[in-house]
Copies of this chain bind each other. A is one copy, B any other.
Amino acid sequence: MKNAIFFLLEDYADWQGAYLSTRLNMSKKWTIKTVSLKSTTCKSIGGFTTVIDYSLEEVPQNIDLFVLIGGDSWGMEDNDELNKLITFYLKKGIIVGAICGAVDFLARNGHLNDYNHTGNSLDLLKQYKHYHNERNFFKEQSVADRNLITANGFASIEFSENILKALKFKSPEKIEKEHELLKKGLYG
């Protein structure tokens, strides 16, 4: 069984992980778990209360995907434990996804300096003293570079697509076709 961990904070963005989590969890080969700093629930921006499966201390090291979902709380104080976990997963070659405010957190903590990436705003990233990779910021909906996938907050479908491709979840053509349906709908 493969496992994906979604990291959420209070006021996480409901729509940003929805396409990815559903694609994965519809497969019998995958399980989805949520993790947060400490809290046992997180309320989404949309007002849904989500049960958190793991605290940071409990999250397993042997996973297949770690996804950091954006939201309104990434301006939090930097967190050593979360930073260590991200560094561990990135070095181990585990696929890591970050979208929206979570990309800002990665930039602020020096995780983006060795990766091509995108995000909500280069102007914001440039303000962080540990961010030194302006030349590898791309104005694209989502950027995949080896095991790190980044996206802006309004690119949840492209984010899902890049992560599923990195995981070799299905053939690239099948993934693209399914995501085309998610974008256009039945009568779009």
Residues of A within 8 A of B (CB): 6, 13-15, 17-22, 24-26, 31-34, 41, 44-51, 53, 118, 120, 139-141, 152-155, 158, 181-188
What is the distance, in angstroms, from A124's C-beta to the closest C-beta of chain B? 12
Given contacts A181-B154, A182-B154, A186-B155, contact A46 B17 (CB under 8 A): yes
What is the distance, in angstroms, from A48's C-beta to the closest C-beta of chain B? 5
State the oligomeric state as a number of copies. Answer: 2
What chain B residues lie within 8 Å of A53 (beta carbons)? 49
Bound CA–CA A184/B158 (angstroms): 10
What is the distance, in angstroms, from A34's C-beta to the closest C-beta of chain B? 6
Given contacts A21-B14, A141-B187, A155-B186, contact A31 B47 (CB under 8 A): yes
The reply to whether B48 and A34 contact each other, CB–CB distance below 8 Å, is yes
Most buried by B among A46, A140, A184: A46
The reply to whether A185 and B22 contact each other, CB–CB distance below 8 Å, is no
Bound CA–CA A49/B47 (angstroms): 14
What is the distance, in angstroms, from A55's C-beta to the closest C-beta of chain B? 15
The reply to whether B187 and A118 contact each other, CB–CB distance below 8 Å, is yes
Bound CA–CA A13/B22 (angstroms): 8
Closest to A154 in B: B185
Most buried by B among A18, A26, A53, A141: A18
